[in-house]
C-alpha cells in the first residue's frame, strides 16, 4: 500500500473530487480519503451555470444523460402569497441532480484520471512546524490490514470534508464562526409527481418566498420525483414544537399557496431529513501546504443554490495553488492568491444574499430591469466578473447606508454615515469601526493597504470632521487589516461581514 503522495484530499464530495481531478491534471499523485461509502446521501440538488461548465470540462455530459437528470434552464422565484414572480435563466446548460448519484460520477471521474480513493476517517494532520507533512486516518471495514490507524506522507492537504471541517476541528485552520444566516433550519423530503409546470419550465427550480428567512424549494430530480424543502429560523421551528415531519407538512401548506397547490396529494417517497446551523466560515482557511475548500471553508445560505459551484471553483483554485507551491517550494504567494480568489467569490454571494433578504421586492424589480444581466451572471456564480463586481458595489452601498442609519445617537449616526459614504468605494479599506467613548467618537480604519489615495482622503476627512464636530470630539486612527479589532465598537462596517453590532 502506497504511503506517500503529493497531495491528500479529505472528503470525496464535489469539492474533493474536483480538487483531485485538477491535481491530477497538474501531474500530481493524489489520495482521496472518504469517510462514508459512496453513493451517500447529500442535500443540494440544483446546479448553476458554473457547475454545468465543470460537468462539460470533466467530460460528464453523457453520464448526466444516462442518469436522466432534468436539464435546468432557470430559477423561478414566487413572492409572498404567489402574487408576483420573477424568472432568472441559466446562461449555459446545467442540471438538477440526485446528489448521491451525481457525487459518485464526479468521484469516479477523479479516479479514472488516476486519483486513488480509500475509505476511512481522517483523525489527525501530521506537521513539521507550520508545514503539513501528512495525515492519519482510520480505515473503514478491514482496509489497512487490520493495523489500526494509518499514516500517509504528503506534501499538501486539501480539506474538502464539508460540514465536518476537519482541519478546523484539528486546530490547523481557524475556528468555525457562525455567520449571519447561522441560525436556520431546513426540513426536506421528496415527493412523487407533485404538480409541475408544463414543458421545460417543469424541470426548473422554484423558490417560494414567505417572509424574511422563511422560504421553500421545489426541485425536480427526475421525470417523477421532486425534492421539496422548507427553510426557517430555528426559533420559528422551535415555536412550532413539532416533529420534522409535522413541520414539513406545515411548511408545505403555509409557506406559499402555490407550493401547497402543487404538493397537496402527492406521495412522499423519502424520509424527512433536516439540517440546521449550516452557515459559518472558517478563518484562516489556507496556510503552508493546506487549503480548505467548499463547505469545509464556508457556507452561506442555500436559497439560490450556489454551494456546489462555489465549492468546485475553490477546489480548482486550491489544486492550482498546490501545483504552484510544490513547483516553487514556497506556498506564500499561492496561499495569498487562493485566499483572495475565494474571498471575492464567497463575499459576493454573501452580500448578494444579504441584499435579497433586505430588499426582496426591490430585488425582484431589479432582476427584470437594469441589473438583470449582472444578476443572471451572479446566479451562474460568475462572481469574479467586472460586471458582477460593479453591481455588488451598488448593493453594498445600499447595505452599508442602511446600516449607518441604524446607529444609535444622532452624532454617531452622522459620523458613521459620513465615513461610509466617503470610503465605501476604497478597495484598500477592510473595515471601519465606530465607537463612542467618554472622550468622544473614535473611528478606526483597518487597511488592507495604505495607498496614497487613502492616506490623503483620510487627512481631508479628519479636517472635515474637526470643522463640523469640533476638534476634540472625533478621533481617527488607522491600523493594518490584520490588527486586533476594537471589541467595544458601536458599529462595525466590515467588508466581510457587513454587520452592525
Ligand X SMILES: Cc1cc2nc3c(=O)[nH]c(=O)nc-3n(C[C@H](O)[C@H](O)[C@H](O)COP(=O)(O)OP(=O)(O)OC[C@H]3O[C@@H](n4cnc5c(N)ncnc54)[C@H](O)[C@@H]3O)c2cc1C
Interface with ligand X by CB under 6 A: which residues?
A: 10-16, 33-36, 40, 42-47, 121-122, 160-162, 164, 166, 186, 275, 278, 294-296, 299, 302, 305, 307-309, 311
Answer yes or no: are the C-beta atoms of 103 and 43 closer than 8 Å.
Answer: no
- In the bound complex, what is the minimum distance in angstroms from residue 428's beta carbon to ligand X? 31
Nearer to ligand X, 63 or 297 (CB): 297
Decide if 81 contacts 211 (C-beta within 8 A).
Answer: no
H or E segment at 477?
strand 474-480
Shortest distance in whole angstroms from residue 416 CB to ligand X: 34
The least distance separating ligand X from the CB of residue 372, rounded to whole angstroms, comes to 22
Which three-class secondary structure string do you get for 358-401?
HCHHHHHHHHHCCCHHHHHHHHCCCCCCHHHHHHHHHHHHHHHH
Residue number with CB closer to ligand X (11 or 325):
11
In the complex, the smallest distance separating the C-beta of residue 410 from ligand X, rounded to whole angstroms, is 42
The CA distance from 350 to 348, in Å, is 5
CA distance 64 to 42: 17
Nearest to ligand X of 57, 462 (CB atom) = 57
Least distance between ligand X and beta carbon 192 (Å) = 20
Q: How far is the CB of 58 from ligand X (least distance, A)?
A: 14
Distance CA 483, CA 377 (A): 35
Q: Which three cell numbers stand for residue 162?
A: 464539508
> DSSP 3-state assignment of 176?
strand
Residue 299 or 445 with smaller CB distance to ligand X: 299
> Is residue 463 packed enough to be buried (19+ CB in 10 Å), middle (13-18) or exposed (0-12)?
exposed
Min separation Cβ 184 and ligand X, Å: 8
CA atoms within 13 A on the CB side of 304: 27
Q: What is the rounded CA–CA span in Å between residue 355 and residue 165?
A: 27
* Nearer residue to ligand X within complex by CB, 162 or 325: 162
Closest approach of ligand X to the CB of residue 435, in Å = 36
* Positive/negative CA dihedral, 420, 422, 427, 429: negative
Least distance in angstroms from the C-beta of 44 to ligand X: 3
Q: What is the smallest separation between the CB atom of 288 and ligand X, expressed in angstroms?
A: 21
Closer by beta carbon to ligand X, 30 or else 122:
122
End-to-end CA distance of the chain: 53
> Which residue's CB is nearer to ligand X, number 233 or number 428?
233
Tell me the sheet residues that pair with 298: 281
Query: Between residues 166 and 498, which has the closer beta carbon with respect to ligand X?
Result: 166
Tell me whether residue 97 or residue 415 sits nearer to ligand X (CB atom): 97
Q: Which is nearer to ligand X, 46 or 497 (CB)?
A: 46
* d(C-alpha 380, C-alpha 90), whole Å: 6
Q: If you count DSSP H runs as helices and E runs as strands, how many of each does the chain have, helices first?
A: 15, 22
Exposed e or buried b per residue across 215-230, where buried means at least 16 C-beta atoms within 10 angstroms of its C-beta: bbbbbbbbeebbbbbb
Which residues in 28-84 belong to E strands, given as ranges? 30-34, 71-78
Longest CA–CA span in the chain (Å) reads 77
Q: In whole angstroms, what is the distance from residue 210 CA to residue 244 CA? A: 19
Contact, 15 vs 53, CB < 8 A? no
Amino acid at each position: 500500500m502506497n504511503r506517500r503522495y503529493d497531495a491528500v484530499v479529505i472528503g470525496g464530495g464535489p469539492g474533493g473530487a474536483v480538487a483531485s481531478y485538477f491535481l491530477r491534471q497538474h501531474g500530481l499523485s493524489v489520495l482521496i480519503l472518504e469517510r462514508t461509502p459512496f453513493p451517500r446521501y447529500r442535500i443540494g440538488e440544483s446546479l448553476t451555470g458554473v457547475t454545468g461548465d465543470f460537468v462539460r470540462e470533466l467530460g460528464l455530459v453523457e453520464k448526466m444523460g444516462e442518469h436522466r437528470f432534468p436539464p435546468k434552464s432557470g430559477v423561478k422565484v414566487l413572492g409572498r402569497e404567489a402574487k408576483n414572480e420573477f424568472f432568472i435563466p441559466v446562461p449555459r446548460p446545467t442540471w438538477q441532480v440526485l446528489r448521491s448519484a451525481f457525487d459518485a460520477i464526479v468521484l469516479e471521474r477523479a479516479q479514472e484520471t488516476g486519483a486513488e480513493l480509500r475509505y476511512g476517517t481522517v483523525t489527525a494532520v501530521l506537521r513539521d512546524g507550520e508545514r503539513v507533512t501528512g495525515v492519519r486516518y482510520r480505515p473503514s471495514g478491514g482496509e489497512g490490514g487490520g493495523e489500526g490507524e494509518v499514516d500517509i506522507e504528503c506534501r499538501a492537504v486539501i480539506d474538502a470534508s464539508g460540514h465536518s471541517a476537519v482541519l478546523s476541528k484539528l486546530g490547523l485552520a481557524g475556528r468555525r464562526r457562525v455567520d449571519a444566516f447561522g441560525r436556520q433550519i431546513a426540513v426536506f423530503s421528496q415527493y412523487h409527481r407533485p404538480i409541475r409546470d408544463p414543458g421545460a419550465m417543469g424541470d426548473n427550480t422554484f423558490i417560494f418566498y414567505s417572509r424574511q428567512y422563511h422560504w421553500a424549494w421545489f426541485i425536480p430530480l427526475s421525470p417523477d420525483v421532486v425534492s421539496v424543502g422548507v427553510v426557517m429560523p430555528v426559533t420559528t421551528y422551535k415555536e412550532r414544537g413539532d416533529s420534522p415531519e409535522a413541520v414539513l407538512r406545515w411548511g408545505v401548506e403555509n409557506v406559499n399557496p402555490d407550493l401547497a397547490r402543487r404538493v397537496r396529494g402527492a406521495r412522499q417517497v423519502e424520509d424527512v431529513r433536516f439540517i440546521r446551523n449550516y452557515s459559518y466560515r472558517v478563518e484562516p482557511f489556507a496556510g503552508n501546504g493546506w487549503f480548505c475548500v467548499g463547505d469545509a471553508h464556508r457556507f452561506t445560505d442555500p436559497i439560490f443554490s450556489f454551494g456546489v459551484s462555489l465549492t468546485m471553483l475553490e477546489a480548482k483554485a486550491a489544486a492550482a495553488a498546490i501545483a504552484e507551491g510544490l513547483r516553487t517550494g514556497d506556498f506564500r504567494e499561492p496561499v495569498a492568491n487562493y485566499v483572495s480568489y475565494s474571498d471575492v467569490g464567497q463575499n459576493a454571494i454573501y452580500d448578494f444574499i444579504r441584499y435579497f433578504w433586505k430588499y426582496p421586492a426591490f430585488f425582484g424589480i431589479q432582476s427584470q430591469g437594469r441589473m438583470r444581466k449582472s444578476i443572471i451572471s451572479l446566479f451562474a456564480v460568475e462572481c469574479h466578473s467586472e460586471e458582477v463586481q460593479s453591481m455588488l458595489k451598488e448593493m453594498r452601498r445600499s447595505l452599508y447606508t442602511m446600516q449607518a442609519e441604524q446607529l444609535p445617537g444622532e452624532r454617531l449616526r452622522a459620523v458613521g454615515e459620513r465615513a461610509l459614504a466617503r470610503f465605501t468605494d476604497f478597495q484598500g479599506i477592510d473595515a471601519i469601526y465606530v465607537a463612542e467613548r467618554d472622550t468622544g467618537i473614535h473611528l478606526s480604519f483597518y487597511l488592507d493597504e495604505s495607498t496614497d489615495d487613502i492616506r490623503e482622503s483620510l487627512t481631508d476627512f479628519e479636517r472635515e470632521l474637526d470643522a463640523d464636530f469640533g476638534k476634540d470630539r472625533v478621533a481617527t486612527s488607522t491600523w493594518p487589516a490584520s490588527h486586533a479589532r476594537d471589541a467595544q465598537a458601536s458599529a462595525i462596517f466590515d467588508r466581510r461581514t457587513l454587520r452592525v453590532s
